[in-house]
C-alpha cells in the first residue's frame, strides 16, 4: 500500500484537536486501501462516467483564440454534473464514507458548488447531509442554497466572523469534533489536516489526466501553460498534477486579487507571500497578522474568499514548479462578461479569475485553462455590480 502524504516539504501536517486524530488515521487507512481496490475504483469510475458525465470535453475556444492570436483550450468542468469540478471529489469521498460505515455527511461550502455536489451525492447514496455555509454566502449564492435544500440537505448558516468560507469550515470541523463517530467530513478542497490535501488531490487529478491525454490527441503536443484559479486550490491541483513531471509546461495558479493585493482586501496568500501559518489543520500560506491571528480574506467570488490555501500549492510555489498571481475583482468581472459574449460560456466568477489572467497575456502559444465551473449561480451578484 502506498503512503498518503502528510507533508509537502514543510507544509501540511495535522494541527487539530486530539479528538479528531483517530478519525484522521482511520480515514488515511481507508483511503490507502480504497484507492488500490479495483472494486472501489470501478464503482467510482462508473459513477464518474454515467452520473457525472465524464470525461468532460476539452474545447478549443475559437473566438478567444482568434482574439488572442494563440490557441486557448478550455477543460470543461462546467459540463460536469452539478456544474463544477467539485463533484469529482464529493463522489469519491461519499463512496469512501460508505465503505467506512459512516451514514452522516457534513461539508463546508463557499460559493455553494461543493455544497451542491455533496448534497447531490448524498441524495444518490442515501446519506444524511448537513452543509455549513457562511450567512454572507447564503445571501450572495441563494440559488445554490435552494438547490441543496431541494436535494434533501440541511443548510446550516454560520454567523461568526465575516460569515464566509473560513467560518463555515471552522463550523464544520467543530461539528466533526462533536459527531466524529458516525460522521464523515467531506472537505471540499485540497486543504485541511492530512490526509485531506492528498485525498482531494487524488480525486481531482482526473481533470488533468483527461486533459493531458485530450490535448496530446488534438495537438500532438503539450500546452505551454496550464492556468487555473486557486482558492483552496482543488481544481488547480487537479489539473496541475498530471503535468508536474512535464518540466516545459508552466503551471499558473490565479488567486483572488479582490480590490488589489496592495490593499488588505484580497484572497491571495500565495501571491503575497509572508510567514507560513496554520489554518484548518494544515501549515500553509495563510493571511495572518503579526500575532498569528488569521485575517479575513475578501473576494467578489465566494469560492476564492478564503485566507488560506492548500499546502501542496505552498510547496509548489516555493519549489518554483508553479507560479501564483492575483487578478482583481474588476478584471474577473470583465472576463466573466467577455467570455460569455465571445464563447457562449458563462463561467463561474472563480473561473473568471483564471480566464482574466489568460486574456491579459499577449505571449505564449497554447494555453490550457481549467474552466472549473459554470456561472449561473453568480448572475445576481454580477448584474448587481
Partner 1 sequence: MSATATTGIDRIAQAFTASAKQAALMPYLMGGYPTLAESVRIGEACVGAGADLLELGVPYSDPLADGPVIHEAGTRALAAGASIAGVLEVARALSPSAPVVLMCYANMVFAPGAEEFVERLAQTGASGLIVPDLPFEEAPAVLAACDAKGIALVPLVAPTTPPERLAQIGRRARGFLYTVSVVGTTGERAALADRFADIVAHAKASTEVPVALGFGISTPAHAAQAAQAGADGVIVGTRLVRAAGESSDPSRAVGEVVAELAAALRGRPASGVDGLL
Q: Which residues are catalytic, by number? A: 86, 108, 372
As measured in angstroms, the least distance from the Cβ of 127 to partner 1 is 21
Q: Give the largest Cα separation in the chain, rounded.
A: 56
Name the segment binding partner 1 (CB under 8 A); options: 103-111, 169-177, 222-230, 364-372.
169-177
**Residue 236 found at the interface with partner 1 (CB under 8 A):** no
Q: 349, 83 in Cβ contact below 8 A?
A: no
Q: Which is nearer to partner 1, 178 or 319 (CB)?
A: 178
User: Please, which residues have CB within 8 angstroms of residue 328's CB and are 6 or more apart in sequence?
Assistant: 257, 258, 259, 260
DSSP string, 339-353: HHHHHS--B-HHHHH
Angular region, 308: left φ>0, alpha ψ -120 to 50, beta rest:
beta
Other beta carbons within 10 angstroms of residue 116's beta carbon come to 29
As measured in angstroms, the least distance from the Cβ of 80 to partner 1 is 31
Name the segment binding partner 1 (CB under 8 A); options: 93-101, 177-185, 235-243, 298-306.
177-185
As measured in angstroms, the least distance from the Cβ of 94 to partner 1 is 22
**Residue 103 found at the interface with partner 1 (CB under 8 A):** no
As measured in angstroms, the least distance from the Cβ of 148 to partner 1 is 23
Query: Whose grid coordinates read 500500500?
Result: 1
Q: 31, 96 in Cβ contact below 8 A?
A: yes
As measured in angstroms, the least distance from the Cβ of 8 to partner 1 is 15
71-76 and 58-60: which strand pairing? Answer: antiparallel
Strand partners, 58: 75
**Residue 29 found at the interface with partner 1 (CB under 8 A):** no
Name the segment binding partner 1 (CB under 8 A); options: 28-36, 67-75, 168-176, 251-259.
168-176
Cα 90 from Cα 84, distance rounded (Å): 11
Exactly one of 95, 153, 180, 300 binds partner 1 (CB under 8 A); that residue is 180
Cα 309 from Cα 144, distance rounded (Å): 23
Q: Which is nearer to partner 1, 295 or 342 (CB)?
A: 295
Mask: binding to partner 1, 321-360, rule CB under 8 A, as x and -? ----------------------------------------
Which residues within the stretch 301-320 sit at the binding site for partner 1 (CB under 8 A)? Answer: none
**Residue 127 found at the interface with partner 1 (CB under 8 A):** no
Q: Which is nearer to partner 1, 241 or 288 (CB)?
A: 288
**Residue 156 found at the interface with partner 1 (CB under 8 A):** no
Mask: binding to partner 1, 256-295, rule CB under 8 A, as x and -? -------------------x-xxxxx-x--x-x-xxxxxx
User: Please, which residues have CB within 8 angstroms of residue 211's CB and are 6 or more apart in sequence?
Assistant: 58, 73, 75, 226, 239, 242, 368, 370
Q: Which among 138, 79, 92 is positioned nearest to 118, based on CA atoms?
A: 92
As measured in angstroms, the least distance from the Cβ of 9 to partner 1 is 15
User: Please, which residues have CB within 8 angstroms of residue 341's CB and are 6 or more apart in sequence?
Assistant: none
- DSSP annotation of 245 reads T
**Residue 10 found at the interface with partner 1 (CB under 8 A):** no
**Contact positions vs partner 1 (CB under 8 A):** 13-23, 160-161, 166, 170, 173-174, 177-181, 275, 277-281, 283, 286, 288, 290-295
Amino acid at each position: 500500500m502506498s503512503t498518503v502524504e502528510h507533508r509537502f516539504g514543510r507544509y501540511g501536517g495535522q494541527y487539530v484537536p486530539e479528538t479528531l486524530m483517530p478519525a484522521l488515521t482511520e480515514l488515511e487507512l481507508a483511503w490507502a486501501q480504497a484507492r488500490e481496490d479495483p472494486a472501489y475504483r470501478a464503482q467510482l469510475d462508473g459513477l464518474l462516467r454515467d452520473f457525472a458525465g465524464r470525461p468532460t470535453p476539452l474545447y478549443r475556444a475559437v473566438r478567444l483564440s482568434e482574439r488572442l492570436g494563440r490557441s486557448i483550450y478550455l477543460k470543461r468542468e462546467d459540463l460536469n454534473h452539478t456544474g463544477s469540478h467539485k463533484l469529482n471529489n464529493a463522489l469519491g469521498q461519499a463512496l469512501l464514507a460508505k465503505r467506512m460505515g459512516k451514514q452522516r455527511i457534513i461539508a463546508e461550502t463557499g460559493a455553494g458548488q461543493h455544497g451542491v455536489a455533496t448534497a447531490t451525492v448524498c441524495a444518490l447514496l442515501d446519506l444524511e447531509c448537513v452543509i455549513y455555509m457562511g450567512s454572507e454566502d447564503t445571501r450572495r449564492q441563494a440559488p445554490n442554497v435552494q438547490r441543496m435544500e431541494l436535494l434533501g440537505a440541511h443548510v446550516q448558516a454560520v454567523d461568526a466572523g465575516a460569515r464566509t468560507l473560513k467560518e463555515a469550515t471552522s463550523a464544520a470541523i467543530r461539528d466533526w469534533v462533536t459527531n466524529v463517530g458516525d460522521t464523515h467530513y467531506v472537505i471540499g478542497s485540497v486543504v485541511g489536516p492530512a490526509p485531506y490535501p492528498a485525498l482531494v488531490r487524488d480525486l481531482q487529478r482526473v481533470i488533468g489526466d483527461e486533459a493531458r491525454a485530450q490535448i496530446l490527441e488534438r495537438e500532438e503536443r503539450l500546452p505551454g501553460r496550464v492556468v487555473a484559479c486557486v482558492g483552496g486550490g482543488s481544481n488547480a491541483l487537479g489539473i496541475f498534477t498530471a503535468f508536474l513531471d512535464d518540466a516545459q509546461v508552466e503551471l499558473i495558479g490565479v488567486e483572488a486579487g479582490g480590490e488589489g493585493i496592495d490593499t488588505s482586501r484580497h484572497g491571495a496568500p500565495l501571491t503575497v507571500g509572508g510567514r507560513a501559518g496554520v489554518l484548518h489543520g494544515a501549515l500553509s500560506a495563510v493571511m495572518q497578522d503579526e500575532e498569528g491571528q488569521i485575517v479575513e480574506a475578501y473576494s467578489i467570488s465566494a469560492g476564492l474568499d478564503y485566507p488560506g490555501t492548500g499546502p501542496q500549492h505552498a510547496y509548489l510555489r516555493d519549489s518554483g514548479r508553479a507560479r501564483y498571481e492575483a487578478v482583481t475583482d474588476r478584471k474577473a468581472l470583465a472576463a466573466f462578461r467577455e467570455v460569455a459574449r465571445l464563447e457562449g460560456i458563462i463561467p463561474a466568477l472563480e473561473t473568471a479569475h483564471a480566464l482574466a489572467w489568460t486574456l491579459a497575456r499577449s505571449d505564449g502559444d497554447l494555453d490550457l485553462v481549467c474552466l472549473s465551473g459554470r456561472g449561473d449561480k453568480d448572475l445576481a451578484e454580477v448584474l448587481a455590480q
